[in-house]
Chain A
Amino acid sequence: MSRPSAQPRLLHPAAWWCWALCVGVAASRTTNPWLLGLLVALLGWTVAQRREPGTGRILAGFLAMGVLAILLRLTATALGGARLGSHLIVELPIVPLPTWLGGLRLGGAVHLEPMVRAFYDGAQLAVVLGSVGAANALAGPRRLLRYLPATLYDVGTALVVGLTYAPRLVTEAERLSRARRLRGHRGRGVRETGRLVIPVVSAALDGALGLAASMECRGYGRTGASRRRQLLASALATLGLAGTVVGLYGVMDGVTPLAVGVPMVLIGVAVAASTLWIGAGGDPRTRYRRDPFAGPERITTAGGLLVAAVFVGWSLIDPAATRPSTTPLALPDLPLLPVLALVVAGLAGVLTPEPPVQAVPSGARSAAGAGARPAPGTPSPAILADDGDLTPHALAPALARGVARRPSAEPTPADQGTLAGAALSEPAPFESSPSESSPSESSPSELAPHPGHAGVLPAASTRGPRYAR
């Protein structure tokens, strides 16, 4: 392993979330359209490079919501907030609203400057939404939930189950709507949906009960912590939260001196956080395959923090560039340092390992010999090629294929086993997995009369028994 990013793996989810949320923080400090555009480009490019397989088009969805936010903002501004300015776009008729709504008036002149301002603000919101979407796309929330502290384990499990459940509800509803058409109804429309509510809910409840029974049988809910520890953790949590609330009130009301308010908040937060640590002790659960927090994760987190720090700092130093004003309507300029920070953050998409390619669904494989279901009692037909018996003559084509794949290897008799074994372990044509959903060759040989009873394929032992490993 020469370079750490050689082997495809998924990063620790906290690293990607930190990076993406830092980009969001950076976006919330600026309304400069060039900077916002570059931020979106950064998000899009990184997601395209390092997206977790199987997450679908989450970023596009969030950006679509952002575009919707921009349009709503523009519409709202056009309807009443754009009356002052220098460049007139259009004059809308004035529609006075009833006095009990506050005496507002809709319509009037629509000027360019307020619209541009509204566009900047909307774009800022869109980029923040995009950063949340990018976080979801780079490290799915299910993976993140696995790293919750043990005290919050139950909450995390409930969230995970909920996330798995929502798509299931949708499929249930579709199934029932299809069945509705079998009774001669249309399956769509308001009344139909009303009729479907109860069956969908009861199907969901049945599913939930089944899931709960299964989790219970697998040990969910075993507590290792003693009663004393639990009481201590609960007491600390209550005290800590109470202290935080009091402290925040003190900070915000303006009467209490800050010297009292701020320490209360800090102490309250510290006490509340300590419950997480106390409650975690004594928990018997372990974690399977923790993701390491190694070099690539550090690079990613550092890049994100750098961007956030530079943008926050720049907005304090040079507010004119980060929040360009529109009253003299001019093209805003592009400050250099934030752009450099963006480029550094973009390195996270390059210096980190690629995500692993997800197992290709078998429908995409070619039919030629891939995933053919072996007939009971016979070894995989893909290996046996044409003959159908295991004499050395039949092995020759398989070995030849193995040889062709590795031209450097010499097919000595001692190596025959390993070669064929190597050929056997390759995914594409030699896979003898009995995957039912794969497009296997429609093999009439399975249905022909066959000596011996419709026997078994014991799991690991007939996987090329003659090909010694």
Chain B
Amino acid sequence: MTDLLRGNFTPEHKVEADELKQDERAAFRKRALESISGSMVFVDDKLLYWDLQNE
């Protein structure tokens, strides 16, 4: 089973995780959060107002 999970071919080139890009992404995320800390989240673009009492 372990062999199956490992895959059944040998890569032509050595594959390594791109740690630097991960770091860069985390750094960007941190900086972005500093920049948008004045913002609320926004996902729904159809409903302007909703009241649970009216359901």
A and B assemble together: no
